[in-house]
Amino acid sequence: MRQLTLPLAERSYDIYIEEGLLILPSLLAKFFTGKKVLILSNETIAPLYLARLKRSLSDKQVFQFIIEDGETYKNLTNFSRIIDFLIENKFRRNDTLVALGGGVVGDLGGFVAASFQRGMGFIQAPTSLLAQVDSSVGGKTAVNHSLGKNMIGAFYQPKAVLIDLNTLDTLPEREYISGFAEIVKYALIGDIDIKRLLKSQTAKILARDKLLLSELVYLSCSKKAQIVAEDEIESGTRALLNLGHSFAHAIEKVTEYKEYLHGEAVSIGIQMALNLSLKKGIISSASANEYTNILSSLGLPLKTKSTLSIDELVAAMVFDKKNMNDNFRLVLPTDKHCLVVEENDLFLIKQAIAKQLN
Single out the catalytic residue among 36, 140, 159, 195. Answer: 140
Sign of the C-alpha dihedral computed for residues 30, 102, 15 and 51 taken in this order: positive
pTM above 0.85, yes or no: yes
> Using CA atoms, how far apart are residues 115 and 153, in angstroms rounded to an integer?
9
Whether the predicted pLDDT of 323 surpasses 70: no
145 belongs to the catalytic site: no
- The predicted pLDDT at position 78 comes to 98
String of DSSP letters for 251-266 = HHHHTTTSS--HHHHH
> Using CA atoms, how far apart are residues 25 and 22, in angstroms rounded to an integer?
8
Percent composition of the chain: helix, strand, coil (DSSP 3-state, to 5) = 50, 20, 30
238 belongs to the catalytic site: yes
Single out the catalytic residue among 36, 185, 223, 238. Answer: 238
Whether the predicted pLDDT of 209 surpasses 90: yes
Quick one: average pLDDT of 281-310?
Answer: 97
Amino acid at 337: H
182 belongs to the catalytic site: yes
329 belongs to the catalytic site: no
Q: What is the pLDDT of residues 166-185, one digit of tens each?
A: 999 999 999 999 999 999 99
pLDDT band at 230 (very low <50, low <70, confident <90, very high): very high
Q: What is the pLDDT of residues 262-277, one digit of tens each?
A: 999 999 999 999 999 9
Mean pLDDT over the full length of the chain? 96
Single out the catalytic residue among 234, 252, 264, 321. Answer: 234
Whether the predicted pLDDT of 29 surpasses 90: no
pLDDT band at 319 (very low <50, low <70, confident <90, very high): confident
Single out the catalytic residue among 185, 253, 262, 321. Answer: 262
How far lies 54's CA from each of 23, 152, 203, in Å?
A: 9, 30, 36
118 belongs to the catalytic site: yes
Whether the predicted pLDDT of 324 surpasses 70: no
Domains observed in the chain: 2-170 (3.40.50.1970), 173-354 (1.20.1090.10)
Whether the predicted pLDDT of 331 surpasses 80: yes
Query: Which of the two residues, 330 and 321, has the higher pLDDT score?
Result: 330
> Using CA atoms, how far apart are residues 332 and 87, in angstroms rounded to an integer?
45
Single out the catalytic residue among 245, 253, 321, 329. Answer: 245
Cβ proximity of 250 and 331 under 8 Å = no
Single out the catalytic residue among 36, 195, 223, 249. Answer: 249
